[in-house]
Structure 1
Amino acid sequence: MGISRKKVYEEIADLIMKDIRDGVLNPGDKLPSITGMAEHYQVSSASIREALNTLSVMDVIEVKHGQGSYIKARMPLGFEHEFEIITRKDIENLLDLRKIIEVGCVELACSQAEEADLKKMQDALDKMRTAVMNNELGEQADYEFHMAIAESTGNQMLIDLLGNVSEKMIETMKETRRIWLYEEKKSIQKIFDEHQAIHEAVEKRNVKEATGAMLSHLEEVASVLLTRHDG
């Protein structure tokens, strides 16, 4: 299939998604049994289970215990683009913009954030924690966390700047989380920990720690996304 980096279950997940896009599989269709799919694709049952789990987390299929796996009636936003949701240049430009704006925002947040702002950040973190526990992507909570930091500055221009790229931010957040679901050494938990570190630094009003944590987080996101978009 020409994608050497992908693991077996990624390949299977992509083949199933291609069948959905091509109309071979349709909304509401029941997928074959795990054993049947393992025989069809000539892979292990474990690889099929991992592929189905990934598709379930991505909201492409619904696993009904005791009944089987079914194609969702409505596909998630951006599904038709698979992992290439936006171009590499878009990603580079967006992440450069986020570094410039968000490192500055978190610096201001250390002096400007009020208790209500800190609570908004904590609420978003709580949503992220729930997503981790439920093995969900949690990209909306991710976005809410970063916007809460911008809003805490009280600078409407900064808030508007981030708001203007909100759609692309959410797309890249979702893509980062999808990719990390495919990596054994990284997980959604790691993203949560990075956000928690940012929040704790803002709570302590520690500018150096907060800006360092934000920059580190955004550079990690850039590394994950751009590595995936290489080649």
Structure 2
Amino acid sequence: MSIARKKIYEEISDIILSEIKSGKLKPGDKLPAITKMADSYGVSQASIREALNRLKVLDIIHVKHGHGSFINQQMPLGFEQNFEIITKADIANLLDLRKIIEVGCARSACERADADDLKKMEDTLKTMWTAVENNELGEQADYDFHMAIAEATGNPLLINLMEDVSDTMIRTMKETRRIWLYETKKSIQKIYDEHKLILKAIKDKDEEAAGAGMYRHLKEVEDLLLTHY
């Protein structure tokens, strides 16, 4: 059995994380310029940029354009206990799992969703729309919408599977929205519209449309993340 070696940017990310955990780097600290970090670590500037991008995904740092990268004042929940970086392979595996599970969930919800289930989906969409209007990412509402569909199936095994990957789902949802908004310059409303179409198909009890809509949505998310991550 072979053990995959970490990529350079993963090693750099781990070093920075270790320095934060040890207290060498503190909340609010400004990281050195990319050129200086590249010289210090003896790696390319591209590797430093990838490392910083991964730390942004994890809510460890933020970038002030024209000023540099800074350690966030507050670390994500669970950071001190066992905080792991999401790798590109993790993203691919997660989206593969989600396509397998959630396309079936959407189709099943067409048959099994009752009035309460539909209201829950509608409420999460309203919350998502509020995020759109406020130019916020709205990743929690995104997750709640997908969970509402899973719960509508009435299958506890499906629900448990979704809950098992909930943390990673929310983090990748946040990154999807960040990329959409800041890197591809597209509106978060596009994601909202995709969810709205899925809900319409479920309300119409159109299994084909619900399954196809969910697959298209997740495939686009997968392509976006794997291209920009």
- Give TM class, smaller chain: 0.5 to 0.7
Aligned residues: 175
Q: Report what 1:97 is aligned to.
A: 97
Render the CA deviation track for 1:151-179: whole Å, top value 9, x for unaligned: 00001111111111111111110111111
* Cα distance between partner residues in 1 of 2:77 and 2:156: 29
Q: Does 1:197 align with 2:197?
A: yes
Per-residue deviation, 1:75: 4.5
Q: Report what 2:46 is aligned to.
A: none
* Cα distance between partner residues in 1 of 2:188 and 2:24: 32
Q: Is the CA contact 1:107–1:207 (under 8 Å) kept in the aligned structure 2?
A: yes
Q: Report what 1:66 is aligned to.
A: none
Q: Report what 1:217 is aligned to.
A: 217
RMSD: 3.1
* Cα distance between partner residues in 2 of 1:181 and 1:24: 33
Render the CA deviation track for 1:101-124: whole Å, top value 9, x for unaligned: 000000000000001000010111
Q: Is the CA contact 1:60–1:76 (under 8 Å) kept in the aligned structure 2?
A: no
Q: Report what 2:186 is aligned to.
A: 186
* Cα distance between partner residues in 2 of 1:77 and 1:190: 29
Q: Taking structure 1 as reference, are residues 25 and 217 closer, same or farther at Cα in structure 2, changes over 3 Å only? A: same
TM-score (norm 2): 0.66
Residue identity in the other structure for 1:215: Y
Residue identity in the other structure for 1:126: K
Give the % identical residues: 61
Per-residue deviation, 1:183: 3.0
Structure 2 segments unaligned to the other structure (5+ residues): 1-19, 31-55, 63-69
Render the CA deviation track for 1:94-143: whole Å, top value 9, x for unaligned: 11100000000000000000010000101110110011111111111100
Secondary structure of the 2:183 match is coil
Per-residue deviation, 1:74: 2.4
* Cα distance between partner residues in 1 of 2:107 and 2:113: 10
Q: Is the CA contact 1:150–1:158 (under 8 Å) kept in the aligned structure 2?
A: yes
Q: Taking structure 1 as reference, are residues 141 and 85 closer, same or farther at Cα in structure 2, changes over 3 Å only? A: farther
Per-residue deviation, 1:188: 1.1
Q: Report what 1:149 is aligned to.
A: 149
Q: Is the CA contact 1:124–1:145 (under 8 Å) kept in the aligned structure 2?
A: yes
Q: Report what 2:108 is aligned to.
A: 108
Q: Is the CA contact 1:85–1:171 (under 8 Å) kept in the aligned structure 2?
A: no
